[in-house]
Chain A
Amino acid sequence: MKAILPVLAVIAAIVVLWYGAAVWMNAAWVRDQAARAGETVSFAQIVPQTLNQERPVLPTPHQVVAELWKGVAGQAVTSKRSLVYHGWITLSATLLGFAIGTGAGILLAIGIVHNRAMDLSVMPWAIASQTIPILAIAPMIIVVLNSVGVTGLVPKAIISAYLSFFPVVVGMVKGLRSPDAMQLDLLRTYGASQGQTFAKLRMPASLPYLFASLKVGVAAALVGAIVGELPTGAVAGLGARLLSGSYYGQTVQIWAALFAAAVLAASLVAIIGLAERLTLRRMGMDR
């Protein structure tokens, strides 16, 4: 309870600030309308008119929540207006890409740890590639793959995979190297083979690092899937909702899509956090 109270207070403060900002930013439109009608409006008249505009500069929280609710519960799940439908399209690309990226990342990390030549040649590039704005390539990958004939889920998943790949590589290399020399020596005195050392020492020791990078990776994968939806001409998915909202000035729709993406990201990270806690507790590595 003690931990939740400050968080709630901060969230409440954000909501209050948000309403204030909404009144302030939307007031210009109300004054405009009033000036056109030749009337003057007092502040008390402006406020109620700023809270429920059709196309506000900044939608109020209750408008966003209403739009979210309408998108999630007010539509059939298969409808094109349903946020569940769009969310699922984004989520499936995210998960596919995340699975590919994580699998490839773990394999590469195993290779790097066991092969010195690979370590020296690949690792600097893996680190350097994190400083490169990979997302900028996203539209190109989509268009190129489309022109080859690969459409739908796969191009987005490739971007997601690329983004989640490097955090996993870097984290796993760190994790697989985390057993200290003493523990490695002990296994050598037992006459353990390299495979046994891997399965019984390196792999378990790397799990906390793996989960930490999985959390970063899944968030990155979702961003990749959303950005991957931008250049495809806004067909489906949360990114497409953002884009069509920005084309037609539907601010409430943009905010609702944004919040849907935020909820999706938060629940993905929370699921991995739960898996982390359960696994580490089972292995006796609970903090």
Chain B
Amino acid sequence: MTWVLGTMLFWAAAWALNIRLAASGLTRSRAGRLIVPAIFGLTLLGVWEGLVRGLQVPSVILPPPSAIAAKIAASTDLLWVDFLQTFVKGALSGYAIGCLSAILVAVLIDRSAFLKAGLLPVGNFVSALPIVGIAPILVMWFGFDWQSKAAVVVVMVFFPVLVNTVAGLRAAEVMQRDLMATWGASYWQTLWKLRLPAAMPFIFNGLKIATTLALIGAIVAEFFGSPTQGMGFRISTEVGRLGLDMVWAEIAVAALAGSAFYGLIALIERRVTFWHPSQRR
């Protein structure tokens, strides 16, 4: 009971602190904008820990964060193997293939108005579909190892990137294109020096959406069959053995990997599209 009461007090105190901080001038600085969400995140973890202990929730239902952290520390090598299998082999290779081919196809179909008019509605339609459902088929075609995961990822990231790139290639203004024409620039020069750079904000929008999809695709595809390693494999088997702390450890790794991947792409975006209004501060 004391744990529950203490948790309530902790929550109230942390929230009051956040309200004070939010009202103060601190939040105008960069550090202040980081500190408030950090306190909120820590509060959530504290409340989780306190409630699990206070209400004596069995660890097969919800392990406390401390137990998950201990599990992560105790099984880093296993987590690393899973990470390599799912993220590096499955998700990253599929992401690279899918995004590159989508950009190439977008550049190709951009030359034909007919193809654009035909493919864009189809592409939009396909990006709204539950494409993860294709996972069992691809696992059947490409076998249990990472190739089938990469194939699922390719299919999942292809259409969002394609649709965004085609939209981006339209972003260069007529005036700018005319200017290129007056300089006697060839099609490929115009593409390389004007239209692709102008399309970058759109392309990166697609690339950022695709980061999450890539990890989801790689993990879900493992539910349909995988070698005896990989995050999806570990999650589904540990759930069966009620080893919930290991499951949460995998989820923490997945969350970290997903956020880091997204952050990396966002960082590259800031470097590449520094000229765009949305990057100004």
**Residue from the list B40, B128, B215, B242 in contact with A266, Cβ < 8 A:** B128
Q: Contact string, B202-218, partner A, CB cutoff 8 A, digits 1/0?
A: 00000000011001100
CB-based contact B136/A223 at 8 Å: no
**Nearest A residue (CB) for B121:** A7
Q: Contact string, B228-248, partner A, CB cutoff 8 A, digits 1/0?
A: 000110011001101010010
A130 to B213, CA, bound (A): 10
Is residue B175 within 8 Å, beta carbon to beta carbon, of the partner chain?
no
Chain A residues, Cβ within 8 Å of B247: 140
A244 to B244, CA, bound (A): 26
CB-based contact B130/A121 at 8 Å: no
A119 to B224, CA, bound (A): 40
**Residue from the list B60, B116, B132 in contact with A226, Cβ < 8 A:** B132
Closest CB in chain A relative to B268 CB, distance in Å: 15
Closest CB in chain B relative to A216 CB, distance in Å: 8
**Residue from the list B33, B61, B136, B258 in contact with A132, Cβ < 8 A:** B258
Chain A residues, Cβ within 8 Å of B116: 6
CB-based contact A121/B36 at 8 Å: yes
Binding site for A on B (CB under 8 A): 15, 18-19, 21-23, 27, 33, 36-37, 39-41, 60-62, 114-119, 121-122, 125, 128-130, 132-134, 136-137, 139-141, 211-212, 215-216, 219-220, 223-225, 231-232, 235-236, 239-240, 242, 244, 247, 250-251, 254-255, 258-259, 261-263
Is residue A230 within 8 Å, beta carbon to beta carbon, of the partner chain?
yes
Closest CB in chain A relative to B7 CB, distance in Å: 17
Chain B residues, Cβ within 8 Å of A245: 136
CB-based contact A136/B37 at 8 Å: no
**Residue from the list A7, A116, A148 in contact with B61, Cβ < 8 A:** A148
Closest CB in chain A relative to B68 CB, distance in Å: 12
CB-based contact B220/A120 at 8 Å: no
Query: Which of A36-44, A198-206, A255-263, A277-285 contacts its partner?
Result: A255-263
A134-B216, A261-B133 given; 15 more Cβ-contact pairs under 8 Å = A6-B117, A120-B37, A122-B40, A123-B37, A132-B212, A132-B254, A132-B258, A133-B215, A133-B258, A135-B219, A140-B251, A238-B133, A243-B136, A262-B130, A269-B128
CB-based contact B15/A117 at 8 Å: yes
Chain A residues, Cβ within 8 Å of B27: 120
**Residue from the list A136, A140, A258 in contact with B244, Cβ < 8 A:** A140
Is residue A9 within 8 Å, beta carbon to beta carbon, of the partner chain?
yes
Q: Count A-B contacts at CB 8 Å.
A: 158
Chain B residues, Cβ within 8 Å of A231: 223, 236, 239
Is residue A11 within 8 Å, beta carbon to beta carbon, of the partner chain?
yes
Q: Which 8 A-B pairs have the closest CB atoms?
A: A6-B118, A121-B40, A246-B136, A10-B118, A131-B262, A117-B22, A6-B117, A124-B37
**Residue from the list A3, A134, A143, A227 in contact with B239, Cβ < 8 A:** A143
Chain B residues, Cβ within 8 Å of A222: 130
Closest CB in chain A relative to B190 CB, distance in Å: 24
**Nearest B residue (CB) for A216:** B128
Closest CB in chain B relative to A273 CB, distance in Å: 11
CB-based contact A132/B259 at 8 Å: yes
**Residue from the list B39, B133, B251 in contact with A137, Cβ < 8 A:** B251
Interface residues of A in 110-132 (CB under 8 A from B): 116-117, 119-125, 128, 130-132
25 of the cross-chain contacts (CB-CB < 8 Å) are: A6-B117, A10-B115, A117-B23, A120-B22, A120-B36, A121-B36, A121-B39, A125-B41, A132-B212, A132-B259, A133-B215, A133-B254, A135-B220, A139-B223, A140-B247, A140-B251, A143-B239, A144-B61, A223-B130, A226-B130, A227-B132, A230-B223, A246-B136, A258-B133, A258-B134
Closest CB in chain B relative to A21 CB, distance in Å: 11
Is residue A108 within 8 Å, beta carbon to beta carbon, of the partner chain?
no
**Nearest A residue (CB) for B36:** A120
CB-based contact B251/A120 at 8 Å: no
Q: Is the interface of B mostly helix, strand, loop or mixed?
A: helix
Is residue A161 within 8 Å, beta carbon to beta carbon, of the partner chain?
no
**Residue from the list B60, B117, B224, B251 in contact with A246, Cβ < 8 A:** B224
CB-based contact A131/B212 at 8 Å: yes
Is residue A57 within 8 Å, beta carbon to beta carbon, of the partner chain?
yes
CB-based contact A9/B114 at 8 Å: yes
A219 to B213, CA, bound (A): 14
**Residue from the list A8, A136, A255 in contact with B220, Cβ < 8 A:** A136
Interface residues of A in 197-220 (CB under 8 A from B): 215, 219
Chain B residues, Cβ within 8 Å of A10: 115, 118-119, 122
Is residue A242 within 8 Å, beta carbon to beta carbon, of the partner chain?
yes
**Nearest A residue (CB) for B37:** A124
A109 to B94, CA, bound (A): 35
Chain B residues, Cβ within 8 Å of A22: none
CB-based contact B37/A125 at 8 Å: yes
Closest CB in chain B relative to A116 CB, distance in Å: 5
Q: Contact string, A5-42, partner B, CB cutoff 8 A, digits 1/0?
A: 01111110010000000000000000000000000000
CB-based contact B40/A125 at 8 Å: yes
CB-based contact B129/A136 at 8 Å: no
Chain A residues, Cβ within 8 Å of B224: 243, 246
Is residue A251 within 8 Å, beta carbon to beta carbon, of the partner chain?
yes
